[in-house]
Copies of this chain bind each other. A is one copy, B any other.
Amino acid sequence: MSALTTDDLTIVGGCLLFKCLDRNDLDSLLETGSLLTLARNQQLFAAGDAAKSLYLVLDGQIKLSRFSRSGDEAVVHVFGPGETFAEAAMFMGGRYPVAATAVGAVRLLAISNARLRARVLARPEIAFAMLGSMAQHLKMLVGQIEQMKLMTARERTIRFLLDQCDGGTGPAAFTMPHDKALVANRLGMTPETFSRTLAQLTERGVNVKGALVSVDDVARLAAALSHET
């Protein structure tokens, strides 16, 4: 197969799906893989397409989403470098249940289902790795359902901010992982509501300038989650 940079190989080796493989196993798996490049907004596959591969993101972001008849989109998750997706499809009747679209420019590695299947039979440890990966996804989806069912838009927004700040108690700052509209969709609200909510959180020490977000005091923001409006 085509040229993987050494950076790429680092990513592949660090991915929890493949880290259990030694060099030989990896090579034999990758030799049928192919390197793909997608432009911004280019679709990798649609919901219902035959599933012939799973994918590893090397660079950029891929969003998985579903569409209603009326064209409204529900983003299920966004995957970044080092993450694999569509593992589940090869066990689900061979159809992808969601669509995959490049958020920006994306490079990714496609790995043949058939090939991987054969590899699993030879080395059952891979199966454990896949189970672990899918278990993570399950947990994530459960978290999303919980959020949608029992948190308000404001609470989900705060929680998103805290997630991005990633622990700590003092001041923090970060940049939006992607378009605000996409973040809003992930959080299950409209861009308008997201914007308004962020503006309103100024009084809680949140400042937004473009894609840059700064939080005066993470602990204080976290406190806003529990006891209050």
Binding site for B on A (CB under 8 A): 66, 68-69, 72-74, 76, 88-89, 91-92, 97-98, 120-121, 124, 127-128, 130-132, 134-139, 141-146, 148-151, 185, 188, 226
Residues of B within 8 A of A139 (CB): 88, 92, 97
Give the nearest-CB partner of A155 in chain B. B68
Residues of B within 8 A of A149 (CB): 74, 148, 185, 188
Main secondary structure of the interface of A (DSSP, over half): helix
B136 lies within 8 A of A138 (CB): no
CA distance A128 to B88 in the complex (A): 11
Residues of B within 8 A of A97 (CB): 139, 142-143
A131 lies within 8 A of B134 (CB): yes
Give the nearest-CB partner of A187 in chain B. B149
